Amino acid sequence: MAEFDVVIVGGGLVGSSLASALRGLPLRVALIESAPPCAPNQPGPDERVIALSLGSRRIFGGLGLWPAMAPVAEPIQRVHISDRGHCGFSRLDRREEAVEALGYVTPARAIDCAIQAALERAPTLQILRPARLLDHQVRAEHVELDLQLGDERRRVETRLLVAADGGDSSVRERLGLQVDGHDYGQDAVITTVTADRPRPGQAFERFTDTGPLAMLPMPGGRYSVVWSCRPAQTTELLSLTDDDFIARLQARFGQRLGRLSAPSPRQAYPLKLKLVRETIHERLVLIGNAAHTLHPVAGQGFNLGLRDVAALAEALAEAARHGGDPGASGTLAEYRRWRGRDQADTARLTDALARLFVVPWRPVRIARNLGLLGLDLVPAARHRLARRFMGLEGSLPRLARGLPLEARHV
């Protein structure tokens, strides 16, 4: 018999979320993470914030993790969408959707801390770190894994291998899988700023000629900035003094939040679309960025990965409930049923938004502005868009409805 029922490669937020989701099931789970553990009581290096959709908040609620995150999460109550320098705009409002919030801007470190605290209490979980997967071989009833664990080599067996090892997935590369996508010719410059006229709960998505500029509300009048720009501009934006950077950002965004100030250290990363054609293979499944890396427009990337977690956990819970094999084709077919077309549809939507709003051709510009105005005037269209961005469309697994995974269906 295999040593583990499930081995998860990648201990980032998606991989560790899956490990947390499985902690109440009668499954032997291992989590392989390359980074050594952080020193106790020391903040990690990740100071990002993540715009969790309402669906993602419900998933963390179903996992029992949301109470630990809620105190530092800023609710998004309204979103203002506009095309810089043009008349098109639209608005989404949580009151129109009859929900407590459209989403929540949450520090990545707070999410990670809540997950790690839960993993420490998981009796059937082993965390192997620092460890690296060197190779794997799929057999009829298990997968053989060769690991580098610290200074030693180790071989383990598992009935299911889950690749959650990010956009540069080594598992995906080893399999030689077909990946669709392209380079957007944009970088995302990330920082936070303080506004002297903050609008609590108000998020902004402003499309510009170099890509979208998002301003996401945080506690204390701070805003998270995700500024898409051309690579030729990136070095300059990173090297500007704080005052010069703020002046450039203020000119780009406008005065809706008053004067901006106090930028945090800036970071940048290139923007690409990567979409794996087939995420399910014999005794193996890819989730999160290993399966799909998206443009940050509308903040769908991590939320899509968390929906992968909810669906896979549901399929594995059903298999465990009936004494089934977590790596069997029927179990993975159940996961495919839950995911349906969500991965491809979300990738297409974000790709269309990222590409459409940088086209300078006048007929396209007119059409997209009329589309934004039409969206603002048609409640049914706004409702459908909001439901998709909130992660509430289609048939939802238990976690995505905020229900505990281990509870039986009624």
Q: Which of 187, 190, 199 is nearest to 255 (CA)?
A: 199
Chain segment 32-80, per-residue pLDDT in tens: 999 887 644 444 444 789 999 999 999 999 999 999 999 999 999 999 9
Tokens for 236, please give them.
């300059």
Chain segment 241-296, per-residue pLDDT in tens: 999 999 999 999 999 999 999 999 999 999 999 999 999 999 999 999 999 999 99
For residue 187, the surrounding DSSP H or E stretch is: strand 179-195
Chain segment 339-362, per-residue pLDDT in tens: 978 999 999 999 999 988 888 878
Q: What is the DSSP letter of 403?
A: -
b (16+ CB within 10 A) / e for 54-76: bbbbbbbbbbebbebbbebbbbb
CATH superfamily ID and name for 4-69+116-180+273-365+392-401: FAD/NAD(P)-binding domain (3.50.50.60)
Domain residue spans in the chain? 4-69+116-180+273-365+392-401
Tokens for 258, please give them.
């008053």
Tokens for 131, please give them.
């460890």
Q: Tell me the pTM.
A: 0.94
Chain segment 76-125, per-residue pLDDT in tens: 999 999 988 888 899 999 999 999 999 999 999 999 999 999 999 999 99
C-alpha dihedral sign at 285, 44, 64, 406: positive
Angle at 54 between CA 342 and CA 189, to 5 degrees: 80
- Euclidean distance between CA atoms 104 and 57, whole angstroms: 8
Chain segment 138-179, per-residue pLDDT in tens: 999 999 999 999 999 999 999 999 999 999 999 999 999 999
Residues in the chain: 410
b (16+ CB within 10 A) / e for 229-253: beeebbeebeebeeeebbebbbeeb
Tokens for 222, please give them.
């701070």
Tokens for 107, please give them.
């520090």
The one-letter code for the residue type at 253 is: F
**Residue 131 in 3-state DSSP?**
strand
- Euclidean distance between CA atoms 340 and 275, whole angstroms: 15
- Euclidean distance between CA atoms 308 and 397, whole angstroms: 10
- Euclidean distance between CA atoms 381 and 204, whole angstroms: 19
- Euclidean distance between CA atoms 131 and 36, whole angstroms: 8
Q: Which of 145, 143, 125 is nearest to 134 (CA)?
A: 145
Query: Distance between alpha carbon 331 and the CA centroid of its chain, in Å?
Result: 24
For residue 267, the surrounding DSSP H or E stretch is: strand 267-276
